[in-house]
């Protein structure tokens, strides 16, 4: 079965005609997410309000583009209409590392809370917080996304089947209507559970939009691609200016369903779809590690902040936050490579993943 899975992966690479432009976009999204979290949980002292606004506002395209990247390749592959093969592949690539990091972050959160409670002699009731967070699908501050995307992946085969049943033209109309409804729903509703159908459905619009942009946007005109990119980042500059002016409803403006962010993300994705970038081995490797980098980077940020606070280290150097972003990226990449190396040794010939798949009926 392992040989079959590897053959399938090679066939998928040939079918999708993997190009460097989407690898660059994926890496850029990865850097943007880390930038956003470094700004939200600063290790150093950020004395510049402008720098805070830039790190916050210019990074908001990342999650929508991540989802659109998934939709661009998952929904355009007719083989993903088959439930069992798709779920089996997704179980190995997504669910297993999610479960590993869920256990890790749960134990890490409980451990840090227990140490704090023992040192202060109080606060033991806070040991229930990680349990509640785990039930809500957010065992750590960044894990909400992976539990939401799991729900999105569950719906991929039915969506691919719908596309094949109604045809490309009708599916295009449905996709853009779904995106509009997703934005309205995302802006006007809240969900306590990150894996709920309501939260998951809000991301289906981006998933379907990614498929449409990859299909309808020709990868020929570099100039039009640059124009789209400039327009998208210009909207993020506007977003940054509003954040800097501090005259906004923070939750509504920074929501990924805000029309400003939605338009910026669509333009940026369309721009990268139009330009052609030669495939680069380093970027390809970093791109393939992006999911594991996402899973591990939050620990690096949190642990570093705890070390700095424990030793009362005060970092006031102006460019420090920018340096932190790339340090976190580099360390998280090392973590990702180490995890993959260890897992490949443990799962040699699929002896663990295949057994787990059989246990769950895949």
Mean pLDDT to the nearest integer, 308-323: 84
Mean pLDDT to the nearest integer, 30-39: 95
Whether the predicted pLDDT of 19 surpasses 50: yes
Look at 41-55, 260-274, 278-292 and tell me which has the smallest mean pLDDT: 41-55
Cα 77 to Cα 346: distance, rounded to the nearest angstrom: 30
Q: Which of 215, 234, 264, 282 is nearest to 65 (CA)?
A: 264
Look at 43-47, 56-60, 116-120, 334-338 and tell me which has the smallest mean pLDDT: 43-47
Per-residue confidence at 219, pLDDT binned at 50, 70, 90? low
Whether the predicted pLDDT of 278 surpasses 90: no
Note whether 208 and 179 are within 8 A (CB).
Answer: yes
pLDDT at 27: 96
Digit-coded pLDDT (tens) for 90-106: 999 999 999 999 999 99
pTM summary value = 0.91
pLDDT at 146: 95
Top-confidence residue, 361 or 289 = 289
pLDDT at 16: 43
Note whether 264 and 61 are within 8 A (CB).
Answer: yes
Look at 22-36, 218-232, 317-331 and tell me which has the smallest mean pLDDT: 218-232
Tell me how far apart the 2 most distant CA atoms of the chain are, in Å. Answer: 65
For residue 121, the tally of other CB atoms under 10 A from its CB is 7
Digit-coded pLDDT (tens) for 221-254: 788 899 999 999 999 999 999 888 876 656 667 8
Q: Which of 46, 73, 75, 296 is nearest to 164 (CA)?
A: 75
Digit-coded pLDDT (tens) for 126-164: 899 999 999 999 999 999 999 999 999 999 999 999 999
Average pLDDT, whole number, for the chain?
88
Mean pLDDT to the nearest integer, 187-212: 90
Note whether 1 and 89 are within 8 A (CB).
Answer: no
Residue 233 token pair: 């980042």
pLDDT at 244: 86
Cα 180 to Cα 259: distance, rounded to the nearest angstrom: 9
């Amino acid at each position: 079965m392992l040989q079959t899975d590897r053959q399938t992966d090679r066939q998928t690479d040939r079918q999708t005609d993997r190009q460097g432009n989407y690898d660059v976009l994926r890496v850029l999204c990865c850097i943007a997410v880390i930038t956003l979290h470094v700004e939200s949980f600063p290790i150093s002292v950020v004395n510049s309000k402008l720098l805070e606004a830039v790190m916050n506002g210019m990074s908001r395209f990342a999650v929508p583009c991540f989802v659109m990247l998934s939709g661009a390749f998952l929904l355009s592959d007719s083989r993903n209409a088959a439930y069992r093969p798709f779920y089996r592949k997704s179980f190995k690539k997504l669910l297993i590392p999610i479960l590993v990091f869920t256990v890790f972050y749960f134990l890490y959160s409980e451990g840090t809370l227990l140490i704090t409670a023992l040192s202060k002699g109080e606060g033991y009731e806070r040991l229930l917080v990680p349990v509640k967070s785990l039930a809500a699908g957010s065992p750590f501050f960044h894990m909400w996304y992976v539990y939401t995307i799991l729900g999105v992946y569950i719906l991929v085969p039915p969506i691919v089947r719908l596309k094949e049943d109604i045809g490309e033209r009708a599916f295009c109309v449905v996709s853009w209507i779904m995106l509009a409804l997703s934005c309205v729903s995302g802006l006007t509703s809240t969900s306590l559970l990150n894996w709920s159908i309501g939260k998951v459905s809000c991301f289906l619009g981006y998933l379907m939009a990614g498929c449409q942009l990859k299909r309808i946007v020709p990868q020929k005109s570099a100039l039009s691609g640059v124009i789209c990119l400039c327009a998208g980042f210009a909207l993020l500059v506007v977003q940054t200016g509003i954040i800097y002016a501090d005259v906004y409803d923070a939750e509504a403006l920074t929501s990924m369903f805000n029309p400003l962010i939605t338009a910026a993300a669509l333009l940026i994705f369309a721009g990268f779809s139009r330009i052609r970038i030669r495939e680069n081995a380093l970027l390809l490797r970093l791109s393939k590690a992006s999911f594991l980098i996402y899973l591990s980077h939050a620990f690096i940020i949190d642990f570093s902040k705890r070390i700095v606070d424990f030793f009362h280290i005060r970092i006031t150097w102006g460019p420090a936050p920018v340096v932190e972003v790339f340090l976190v990226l580099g360390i998280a990449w090392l973590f990702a490579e180490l995890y993959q190396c260890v897992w490949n040794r443990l799962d040699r010939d699929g002896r663990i993943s295949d057994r787990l798949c059989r246990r769950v009926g895949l």
